[in-house]
Amino acid sequence: MTLFDKFTPVRTAHQAIVDNGVDPFRLIVQHVFSPTEAMINNRRTILAGTNNYLGLTFDPQCIAAAREALERHGTGTTGSRMANGSFEGHVALEKELAAFYGCSTAIVFSTGYQANLGILSTLAGPEDVILLDADSHASIYDGCRLGGAEIIRFRHNDVNDLEKRLVRLGARATRTLIVLEGIYSMLGDRAPLAAIVAIKEKYGACLVVDEAHSLGVLGSHGRGLAEEAKLEDSVDFIVGTFSKSLGSTGGFCVSRRPELDYIRYMSRPYIFSASLCPSVVASTRMALKILEGNHQLRERLWENSHVLYEGLQKVGFSLGPEVSPVVAATVPSKEYAIAFWNGLIEQGVYVNLMLPPATPNGLSLLRCSVSAAHTTDQLTYICETFASLKEKLSELQA
């Protein structure tokens, strides 16, 4: 055995993908025209896999704010906030996030992935327990591992399984962190938050909700699942990202608990990572203002989500359990998924090819993400393309 033997199965799996068509990891986006269109493989392509839920990546106000910050503060911070200090934009963004959520404190991280690493690894250590939904994002799993806590998975959205595991912990339940997501990124379903909050309070546990895919999507003000369920006061920490509805990069955590202030001095991913570029901070601040003030974007997003979900359902695709901006079509095999994804690219439609082991229950998925910026014509074309390829590739399903 050598150090590199572990790469043999990966090499084999990768070659199988390459042999069946385009390698998704080597797909080149040559030019982006708008939130919903780009040039890919020299073809104008509809973007239906970018998580650009509110379509703010080309908003003129966001671009202008980023340009002004770029000219005023330069291209980057060249270091962490602990080492190089905070720029005024970092502090302003944290205050605005805290105010948006009605919380006392917010911390901004360089990516959404780092937000989960930084918060989860600091909240729960070797003497603690983390109960996480089995379908949690990779960043949640990695954040839990980094802290050294005991990790116990409960079945996806299974409240009874969660309670059974808390009961078994006995007195350790009060040293337990429950982690779940507002909208799950693979199938687009919501967590049963009210039932989980009731269990969390019954046993004295702590609750973190990752609102990455629900910020800007759920709630009357777009604050996510906790707002929609009217349970914001019962969630101890909310983690999120700027790379979905806010159209930039970065992550954050907000809380009503005073302990969040101290996490800033304890979290290695925060202390030792270069801080967000001023231009990114500026565009994010503007996008947050737009999210707060333009409820029509969220209404349009949900209209589009229904159009795509119902359109794909009508032509016979098995989808996630409920309508959301994440519309994932389950297909019968990896080979079918790869062939279908290549066919979509050839027809000018980009979606996410999701294969096991990254997917729940070994599913092969063609995952679409809807944007408020999609036109009815674009959504119709996506549904028609799915339908025509389904008929064309029917022999692979046999």
What positions carry a catalytic annotation? 185, 213, 244
Strand partners, 369: 326
CA 102 – CA 230 distance, rounded (Å): 13
311, 380 contact by CB (below 8 A): yes
Query: 373: closest CA among 37, 54, 45, 46?
Result: 54
- Mode of pairing for the β-strands spanning 29-34 and 37-40: antiparallel
Contacts of 392 (CB under 8 A, 6+ apart): 343
Both tokens assigned to 247: 């159209």
Both tokens of 107, joined, read 């911390």
Residues recorded for the chain: 398
Tokens 């974007």 belong to: 297
Do residues 238 and 107 lie in contact, with contact meaning Cβ atoms separated by under 8 Å? no
- The one-letter amino acid code at 345 reads I
Structure tokens at 136: 């949690």
Contact 180, 220 (CB under 8 A): no
The residues near 276 (Cβ < 8 Å, ≥ 6 apart) are 77, 90, 108, 110, 249, 250, 284
Q: By the 8 A CB rule, do 345 and 48 touch? A: no
Report the run of H or E that residue 366 belongs to, with start and end: strand 364-369
For residues 355, 22, 33, 380, the Cα torsion angle rounded to the nearest 10 degrees is -60
DSSP H or E segment with residue 122: helix 112-123
Nearest to 183 by CA among 217, 222, 153: 217
Taking only Cα atoms into account, the Rg of the chain, rounded to an integer number of angstroms, comes to: 21
Measured CA to CA, the distance from residue 230 to residue 234 in angstroms comes to 9
